[in-house]
Structure 1
């Protein structure tokens, strides 16, 4: 909206700190019940929010006149401004998240509004036990920082060891990756030890 990302986060103590420290936004603006963030932070915000919440819904307005091109198919970010409404966006590119829900479409005249649900990228391989490959690594949400990271879904949940992990958990105090967890386990830990 007007060159900014407008984010609605579940009310939680520490949202400003999370946006500043984890997502890397210097001065997040809070207005009523929404955060106004720089457009350049969108990819980092989506990556961090999926790790925090398990999935996100991304609303976008797209021009009706745009066309789906090879650039759309190979895109690595979440922004799509073409006529496919995000249906083909990034399908040829591996990323840290994937589309897990269908787009909701609303006609807005010259543009079309879509809502797409994104979640952590899954894995078709058998999940294995996490052996600390990212020990000592700082938690990152930018693509360059995660270049050599495996997907969390390649491992069993480090807490319960019974189901496939979905997200990377990290220490909020020191910023280091701890291990792969399921979304429910991560939420449980967040409630029990919110300032860890």
Structure 2
């Protein structure tokens, strides 16, 4: 990702996280990391999040941060219930973009490229960061980044 794209994405994610009209859940990828969630303010948010479970959500409220921490196992339930109650929910989660190319492209000479990489890997040489499925198909995953999607309920 180009630095300008990264800055734009970070600003967009921060704006989504900071808004207070649509619920947001941040599913982090690290082992043992809790979910983080933000909801439009209601006095019953703690009870709604808990949903008669034994474990209680933890409120993290500081000057610059205000969110709930929830067990990872609550993710699907949180999304389903937020869709039912609010009609939509933002999900911020890590993802790895996958590149697809071929050894023939990476070892090519000249400038003509007809590969799906659109020339990004053309003539770059084949090295160990790629998983070669066959002579005509190789993949590699980039470092994890955060992506956001808005889920909207199908109800009328």
In the superposition, the TM-score normalised over structure 1's length comes to: 0.37
Please report the TM-score for the alignment, with normalisation by the length of structure 2.
0.46
Higher relative contact order (Cα pairs below 8 Å, separated by 6+ residues): 2
Higher helix share: 2
More strand by share: 2
> Which of these two proteins has the greater Rg computed from alpha carbons?
2
